[in-house]
Amino acid sequence: MKSMKLILMSLTLGSVFLFSGCGNGDGKGTGAIGSSGAAEKVYVAPGELDEYYQFFSGGFSGQVTVHGLPSGRLLKTIPVFATDGEKGYGFNEETKPMLMTTFGFVPWDDAHHPKLSQTNGEHDGNFLFINGNNTPRVARIDLTTFETTEIIQIPNTAGLHGSPYPTQNSEYLVAGTRFSVPIPQEDVSIDTYKENFKGTFTFISGGQEPGKMDIAFQILVPGYDYDLATSGKGPSHGWTFFTSYNVEQENTLKEKYASQYDKDYIAAVNWKKAEEYIAQGKFKEWPAEYYHNFYNDKTHTATATKKSGVKVLIPAECPGLVYYLPTPKSPHGVDVNPTGELIVGSGKLSADLTVHSFAKMLAAIEAESFDQEIDGIPVLNFEAIVAGTVASGGLGPLHTEFDGRGNAYTSFFISSEIVKWSTETFEVLDRIPSYYSIGHLSIPGGGSMKPWENGKYMISMNKITKDRYLPTGPELAHSAQLYDISGDKMELLLDFPTMGEPHYAQGILASKIIDRQVKFFPLEENEHTYKTLNEKDTRVERDGNEVHIYATMIRSHFAPDNIEGVKVGDKVYFHVTNLEQDWDVPHGLAIMGAQNAELLIMPGQTETLLWEPLTPGIFPFYCSDFCSALHQEMQGYVRVSPADSDVKLSWKLGDEGSGN
Amino acid sequence: MKYMPKIIFIIGAAALLGTFLAPIWRITLEAPQYPQGVTMYIWINKLDGAERGTLQNINILNHYVGMKMIEPESIPELKYFPKIIIGMAVMGVLFGFINNKKLWLTWGIALILLGMLGIYDFYLWEYDYGHNLAPDAPIKVPGMAYQPPLFGTKMLLNFNAISYPHYGSIFIGIAMIFSFLAFFLKKKQEAR
């Protein structure tokens, strides 16, 4: 009897899921409980590992999250553009320089496009790059440590959306200004937009060389809104494409005024030509100030370096550098297929996709099929370059990625679906809903020349979840959805919530990353200025009102753990070295009343917390990362005396110490 | 083959030097939070682990129950064992050229005796580490000692300790077997 009820219940539930899966009216959608065994496909048994790393931008959290596929499990949050109390990022003395800009210390950003480094057009697993949209910056994450190790500020830019989109060998990362502004900046009336506002494309060198990111050159372009970018591959290697909207050059009520023209432009930039012009000295040296911040894994310390001056190329003086490809309806995403021949422009206010041919583009340039010229930039004839149009039947196309079997997958924000189409016939092959309002989609390797496993999984990143999860007050989870695309029909496998807005994501086969993991930092390679490599060297030193505590931590104690002689008004620097040399044994340092955060110190690493005690008394500190059976005992005391006190500086651990 | 016994004996004696190429003993500690185990290797002249930091990690674990730190530089055996091995190898090669089977037999028996002494010394060393516990250790389990087994496995609180000879021991075995083999071959030759 009981089992009968269960069967009935599961049947009812099953049909509910099936119906919800058919929401878009095609009648063929499959729910999570389908005949194909979706649950089995995403089940990673306890103790087993996922097949893919998938790196999600944390959107307006400013961070990156790392998930495993196909399970969707969250593996790590990597702080990038925003401070993170958990890891002390941006709070400890070592990482504060990472967030320095010409605007000062900027502890937040809007992280948009995580892009993996490439070698020969394939994801090599060396680095992940991501752009900060608000205060223009591009960061490098080292995939041996999963830590942010470099951030470069992009000058002459306002709003950095179309970035970092590396070239085929990561020769350059690129950056297009989302908001045109006066360049160089000046105090003008906003109504002088058409006259004074300009845009830039920036090419950043040093993609494959840690510590060497730099502004190679910038290209000054008309004052449109430059949206997204992609770099060519194979035959189109040497070119980078940027979409634009607001060719109308309006500066108010843009949702209306910037949507008036039938076509905006995709800018095609020949960066190999740019290199020639730079070599010939045909650039202008423009004043510009920007920061380059680099975290060194030997000194465990970041340095912020202010740089000035950029090389700027003006298209009117550099023929053949930039061309405009007319593209209908305010194109948002621009994506090049794995063979490097097709340039897919997604007119976000349109139903159709415009696919340009790179070969036709070159031919049109050769034949000078130009409709007009804007500030020295030839506008190519639309008919001459278009390879085809995908009559999608959807609305609001945004982004396209590819499998390795000649298929493209385009996200449609307005109709909330993914459309699969053939890059040979431009015919629609399949469509499946997303829940809801998909932005980017991601096929692991699908933006490179070699989609992993020819395209097995696809992720959609959705802006709205409404009823998909347990409600959590006014702010609801953003989400990702996992699809199986290995067959003819796309199949929804899994929903999982993500951090912030999961703006974009890229995935890579786990085997490309696993073996390069740093497990701990060898103590003998520690070059931190304030390192302490054994307990015998632990000490406390006073220099005026600065107190430097050279401390160590090892299971399960700090050395020293009793400190006296600190006074109100002192700046107390805890320089703490984790002496552990084992994987997965970080220790934390938390001090009562510290106005910044904890330290979370990896084995072999040294970090520094600045503490400025305001009142006399006894202040406990403790290890915040559960490290051992005697973790609770891993603690100590600092005695803080009044400013005019004559308590001498002293320290101890057990019987060892200053002897004062 | 007239020189066969001599050659075998010399090879066997020289093989002793192989103990410098591989550890002679291996102790592994297994526990749930150490899925790969913590493995210490005992060489004739040094101690090390499967990974950098292994010794430190073992010391960290051991200090909770009050065991002494394992500090290779304060273990005298690691200084004089290599000398004994080199001495035996040199002496063996010399004996080989002297070509006297009684010397060979004596050498072989001496090696066995030394080996037994070595194992007894190792046992004492383990006993000392396992029993000589600091009275103020954080974790005190009445009646518990932490002596790892000489040969085999044994549960020590949450750890399963596994102790077996390692590749380096094969060279000592070869030296022993070859010395006796050479002795008997030579005896047989001379009997003809």
Q: Assess whether A383 and A453 both reside in one domain.
A: yes
Q: Assess whether A343 and A297 both reside in one domain.
A: yes
Cα–Cα distance measured from residue A131 to residue A143, given in angstroms and rounded to the nearest whole number: 17
The average pLDDT across A578-582 equals: 96
pLDDT band, very low/low/confident/very high, at B1 (cuts 50, 70, 90): confident
Considering the domain boundaries, does residue A35 fall inside one?
Answer: no
Chain B: nearest CA to A66, how far in angstroms?
23
Question: Which uninterrupted H or E stretch holds A411?
Answer: strand A407-412
The Cβ of residue B123 has, within 10 Å, a number of other Cβ atoms equal to: 14
Worst-scoring range by mean pLDDT, A29-33, A208-212, A371-375?
A: A29-33
Tokens of A417: 């679906």
Its domain, for residue A557, covers 530-657
User: Is B144 strand, coil or helix?
Assistant: coil
CB contact under 8 A, A554 and B53: no
Question: In this predicted model, what pLDDT tens digit does every residue of B128-164 receive, in sequence order?
Answer: 999 999 999 999 999 999 999 999 999 999 999 999 9
Q: Assess whether A492 and A615 both reside in one domain.
A: no
Where in A478-570 does DSSP place strands (E)? 478-484, 491-498, 505-509, 539-543, 546-554, 557-559, 562-567
Q: Which among A479, A463, A354, A454 is positioned nearest to A402, based on CA atoms?
A: A454
Alpha-helix runs per DSSP H in A86-235? 193-196
Of B52, B60, B138, the CB nearest to A554: B60
Backbone angles phi, psi at A6, to 5 degrees: -60, -45
Of A554, A579, A630, the CB nearest to B64: A630
Of B52, B64, B139, the CB nearest to A581: B52
pLDDT given at position A338? 97
Residue ending a domain, among A479, A514, A549, is: A514
B138 interaction partners in chain A (CB closer than 8 Å): 630, 633
pLDDT given at position A48? 97
- Supply angle C-alpha B87, B93, B98, rounded to 5: 120
Question: In this predicted model, what pLDDT tens digit does every residue of A338-358 receive, in sequence order?
Answer: 999 999 999 998 889 999 999
pLDDT given at position A658? 87
Considering the domain boundaries, does residue A29 fall inside one?
Answer: no
B36 interaction partners in chain A (CB closer than 8 Å): none
Chain B: nearest CA to A556, how far in angstroms?
9
Of A520, A522, A555, the CB nearest to B60: A555
Question: In this predicted model, what pLDDT tens digit does every residue of A320-335 receive, in sequence order?
Answer: 999 999 999 999 999 9
The two beta strands, A635-641 and A562-567, are parallel
pLDDT band, very low/low/confident/very high, at A410 (cuts 50, 70, 90): very high
> What is the chain A residue with the closest CA to B34?
A583
Mean pLDDT over each residue of chain A, to the nearest integer: 93
Specify which residues A242 forms β-bridges with. A229, A267
The two beta strands, A301-313 and A214-222, are parallel
pLDDT over threshold 50, residue A175: yes
First to last CA, chain B: 13
pLDDT given at position A37? 87
> Positive or negative CA dihedral for A92, A53, A410, A39?
negative
User: What's the domain count of chain A?
Assistant: 2
Tokens of A530: 């304030």
* Cα–Cα separations (whole angstroms), residue A157 to A174, A221, A230, A268, A515: 12, 12, 18, 19, 38
Tokens of B142: 């009445």
Of B53, B138, B139, the CB nearest to A581: B53
pLDDT given at position A393? 86
The average pLDDT across A188-216 equals: 97
Tokens of A628: 């051992």
User: Is A593 strand, coil or helix?
Assistant: coil
Cα–Cα distance measured from residue A370 to residue A361, given in angstroms and rounded to the nearest whole number: 11
Considering the domain boundaries, does residue A5 fall inside one?
Answer: no
Chain B: nearest CA to A71, how far in angstroms?
22
Q: Which among B86, B76, B29, B84 is positioned nearest to B54, based on CA atoms?
A: B29
- What's the CATH code of the domain at A546? 2.60.40.420
What is the fold, at CATH topology level, of the domain defined by B4-191?
Butyryl-CoA Dehydrogenase, subunit A; domain 3 (1.20.140)
pLDDT given at position A23? 40
CB contact under 8 A, A630 and B57: no
A555 interaction partners in chain B (CB closer than 8 Å): 60
Q: Assess whether A473 and A539 both reside in one domain.
A: no
A582 interface with B at CB cutoff 8 Å = yes
Tokens of A620: 């406990």
CB contact under 8 A, A582 and B64: no
Of A522, A554, A579, the CB nearest to B52: A522
pLDDT given at position A20? 40
A580 interaction partners in chain B (CB closer than 8 Å): 53, 56, 60
pLDDT over threshold 60, residue A5: no
A522 interaction partners in chain B (CB closer than 8 Å): 52
pLDDT given at position A36? 65
Backbone angles phi, psi at B142, to 5 degrees: -55, 130
- What's the CATH code of the domain at A194? 2.130.10.10
Cα–Cα distance measured from residue A168 to residue A123, given in angstroms and rounded to the nearest whole number: 9
Q: Assess whether A561 and A424 both reside in one domain.
A: no
pLDDT given at position A659? 63
- For residues A327 and A440, is the Cβ–Cβ distance under 8 A? no
Q: Assess whether A143 and A182 both reside in one domain.
A: yes
Q: Assess whether A498 and A573 both reside in one domain.
A: no
Tokens of A601: 């110190």
- Best residue in B52, B61, B140, B158 for a mutation probing chain A (most A CBs within 10 Å): B52
Q: Assess whether A143 and A251 both reside in one domain.
A: yes
Specify which residues A575 forms β-bridges with. A550, A608
- In 3-state terms chain B splits into helix, strand, coil percentages (rounded to 5) of 55, 15, 30
The average pLDDT across B1-28 equals: 94
B60 interaction partners in chain A (CB closer than 8 Å): 554-555, 580, 582
pLDDT over threshold 70, residue A566: yes
A633 interface with B at CB cutoff 8 Å = yes
B64 interaction partners in chain A (CB closer than 8 Å): 628-630
Q: Assess whether A568 and A456 both reside in one domain.
A: no
Chain A: nearest CA to B21, how far in angstroms?
25
pLDDT over threshold 50, residue B22: yes
Q: 591-630 in A: which are within 8 Å (CB) of B?
A: 603, 628-630
pLDDT given at position A22? 41
- For residues A94 and A296, is the Cβ–Cβ distance under 8 A? no
Domain coordinates of chain B in residue numbers? 4-191
Question: In this predicted model, what pLDDT tens digit does every residue of A140-160 receive, in sequence order?
Answer: 999 999 999 999 999 999 999
A526 interaction partners in chain B (CB closer than 8 Å): none
Number of A to B CB contacts under 8 A, please give it.
23
Cα–Cα distance measured from residue A625 to residue A266, given in angstroms and rounded to the nearest whole number: 50
A633 interaction partners in chain B (CB closer than 8 Å): 138
pLDDT given at position A72? 97
- Best residue in A535, A582, A602 for a mutation probing chain B (most B CBs within 10 Å): A582
Interface of B with A (CB under 8 A): 52-53, 56-57, 60, 64, 138-139
Cα–Cα distance measured from residue A149 to residue B141, given in angstroms and rounded to the nearest whole number: 47
Cα–Cα distance measured from residue B41 to residue B47, given in angstroms and rounded to the nearest whole number: 6
Question: In this predicted model, what pLDDT tens digit does every residue of B45-79 receive, in sequence order?
Answer: 999 998 889 999 999 999 999 999 999 998 999 99
pLDDT over threshold 60, residue B115: yes
Over the range A444-470, which residues count as b (16 or more CB within 10 Å of their CB) and which as e? bbbbbbbbbbbbbbbbbbbbebeebee
Of B52, B53, B64, the CB nearest to A629: B64
The average pLDDT across A22-42 equals: 59
Q: Assess whether A501 and A570 both reside in one domain.
A: no
Residue ending a domain, among A451, A485, A514, is: A514
Question: Which uninterrupted H or E stretch holds B60?
Answer: helix B54-63
- Best residue in A536, A577, A579, A581 for a mutation probing chain B (most B CBs within 10 Å): A581
B57 interaction partners in chain A (CB closer than 8 Å): 581-582
Specify which residues A323 forms β-bridges with. A268
Considering the domain boundaries, does residue A36 fall inside one?
Answer: no
The average pLDDT across A389-397 equals: 93
Q: Assess whether A264 and A334 both reside in one domain.
A: yes
Percent of chain A past pLDDT 70, that is, above it, reads: 94
User: Is A413 strand, coil or helix?
Assistant: coil
Q: Assess whether A442 and A481 both reside in one domain.
A: yes
- Best residue in B33, B34, B57, B136 for a mutation probing chain A (most A CBs within 10 Å): B57
- Give me the amino acid identity at A107: P
Long-range contacts of A104-108 (CB under 8 A, 24+ apart): A106/A81, A106/A135, A107/A82, A107/A83, A108/A62, A108/A81, A108/A82, A108/A83, A108/A134
> What is the chain A residue with the closest CA to B57?
A582
The average pLDDT across A241-249 equals: 96
pLDDT given at position B79? 94
Q: Which among B105, B82, B75, B79 is positioned nearest to B18, based on CA atoms?
A: B82
CB contact under 8 A, B53 and A582: yes
> What is the chain A residue with the closest CA to B62?
A555
Chain A: nearest CA to B111, how far in angstroms?
39
CB contact under 8 A, B56 and A581: yes
